[in-house]
Amino acid sequence: MSGLIHYALGLSQRGESGLAKAVALPALLLMALASPAGQDHTPGSFQISVDVALVVLHATVSDRQGGFVSNLGKQDFEVYEDGVPQRIRLFGNEDIPVTVGLVVDHSTTMGPKLPEVTAAARTFVQSSNRDDEMFVVNFNETVSLGLPGAMRFTDRTGELESAIAVAPTGGQTALYDAIAKALETLQAGSRDKKVLIVVSDGGDNASRCSLAQVMRLAAQSSAIIYTIGVFDGDDPDRNPGMLKHLAQATGGEAFFPNELSEVVAICEGIARDIRHQYTIGYVPTNLRRDGAYRAIRVRASAKGHDRLQVRTRTGYVAGSEARLVEKGAE
C-alpha cells in the first residue's frame, strides 16, 4: 500500500498546499475509485484523465490504556464529513516516510538545556523510518536553518545533532517566526507526510508574525505538529496554552515534562506515534470549492477492542487551493 500511496498520490511532487487537493490519479487507481461495483475493466483498454479531490488523513488509534492499536482494517473505520458518511477509497497502515522539521529554541534560558535536547533529537532520528528526511530550524530573536550551506534535508544523525548543537544561544524568543519558517520549509520536502517537532521553554516575545498568523499558516498546511514545552517554573513568558492549541489544531500532541531528562523518551514516543498511523483517503460527497469549513469525524471500532480513541485532523477548508484546517483527537 505504501507504494500505491507514493505512486498514485504524489502529493508533494505535485505541489500540494494542503490535505484535499485536486490530484490527477493514474488510470488503474481511478478505475478502483470510480467504477461501479462488479464492473470489470481490461487494463490498457482505455485511458482516464480526471482530477479527483482526495482527502487524506493520518490517524493514530489508541486503546483505553493509551497503547497503539495497529491491527485494524478499513472496515473498522467510519469517516464523516459535516455529518455525512464518506466512502473510504484509500487505506493503509504501513510505516511511510515523512519530512520532519526540528524547531529548537536557542534563547538565553535554553543554553543549559540544549545537550538534553540534542540527545533527544538523536533518539528521535534513531527511532524513525530510515527513509525520513529532516531539517532543523534554530531560533532566538532571529530564525535560521541549521543544516550547513545548501543542504536542505538529511537523514544523518550526526548532521542533525551538529545543526542543533553548534548554534549559539542568547537573546529572546521568536517562536512564531520559527514555526512560520518551518512550515514554509516543509513544502520543499519530497515526502507526502509532513511533521514538525517544536521544542521551546517559553512563549513568544520577539516575533514579527502574530499567533493568529501562525495558526492560519498551520491551518493551511498538512503538517502534524508536536510541541514540547521545557518550561522553568518562574518563566514569565511561558505559554503552555499556545503550544497545546497548536498541537491539537494539527492532529499532534503537546508534552510538558516535569524533568528535562524526560525529553529523550518523549521524542522516542513521537517517533513511534508517527510510525503507527493509519492513512485514510476519501473523495468527499460534497465537491464544492466554496471556501467553507468541512468538519471531519473519524471513528474506529472492532471486535475485541473497547472504546478506541482516534486522533487526527478534524476538518479542512474547501477552497480553490484546498487549504486545511487540522485538529486533534476525537
pLDDT at 29 over 70: no
pLDDT at 59 over 80: yes
Tally of CB atoms within 10 A around 193: 23
Query: How many CA within 13 A on the CB side of residue 306?
Result: 2
Q: Which of 163, 131, 159, 115 is nearest to 263 (CA)?
A: 115
- The pLDDT of 67-71, averaged and rounded, is 91
Confidence of residue 326 (pLDDT cuts 50, 70, 90): very low
Confidence of residue 321 (pLDDT cuts 50, 70, 90): very low
Report the sign of the C-alpha dihedral through residues 77, 79, 83, 87, in that order: negative
User: Cα(257)–Cα(261) distance, rounded to whole angstroms?
Assistant: 8
Tally of CB atoms within 10 A around 285: 11
User: Cα(127)–Cα(10) distance, rounded to whole angstroms?
Assistant: 25
User: Cα(237)–Cα(44) distance, rounded to whole angstroms?
Assistant: 62
pLDDT at 43 over 80: no
**What is the helix (H) or strand (E) element at residue 292, kind and residue range?**
strand 292-300
Rounded (to 5) percent helix, strand, coil in the chain: 30, 25, 45
Q: Which of 137, 132, 145 is nearest to 193 (CA)?
A: 132
- The pLDDT of 205-211, averaged and rounded, is 93
Which of 193-197, 243-247, 322-326 has the least mean pLDDT?
A: 322-326
106 CB-contact burial (10 Å; exposed 0-12 / middle 13-18 / buried 19+): buried
Give per-residue pLDDT as tens, 5-28: 443 444 434 444 455 443 334 333
- Between these two residues, 61 and 19, which has the higher pLDDT value? 61
What pLDDT sits at residue 184? 95
| Domain architecture of the chain: domains with CATH | 2-93+277-318 (no CATH), 98-275 (3.40.50.410)
The DSSP code sequence of 161-197 is HHHHHTS---S---HHHHHHHHHHHHTT-SSSEEEEE
pTM listed for this prediction? 0.80
Coil, helix or strand at residue 252:
coil
Query: How many CA within 13 A on the CB side of residue 145?
Result: 17
Give per-residue pLDDT as tens, 73-87: 999 999 999 999 999
Coil, helix or strand at residue 124:
helix
Query: How many CA within 13 A on the CB side of residue 158?
Result: 0
Amino acid at 99: T
Give per-residue pLDDT as tens, 87-138: 999 999 999 999 999 999 999 989 899 999 999 999 999 999 999 999 999 9
The DSSP code sequence of 62-122 is E-TTS-B-----GGGEEEEETTEEE-EEEEE-S---EEEEEEEE-SGGGGGGHHHHHHHHH
pLDDT at 50 over 80: no
What pLDDT sits at residue 237? 72
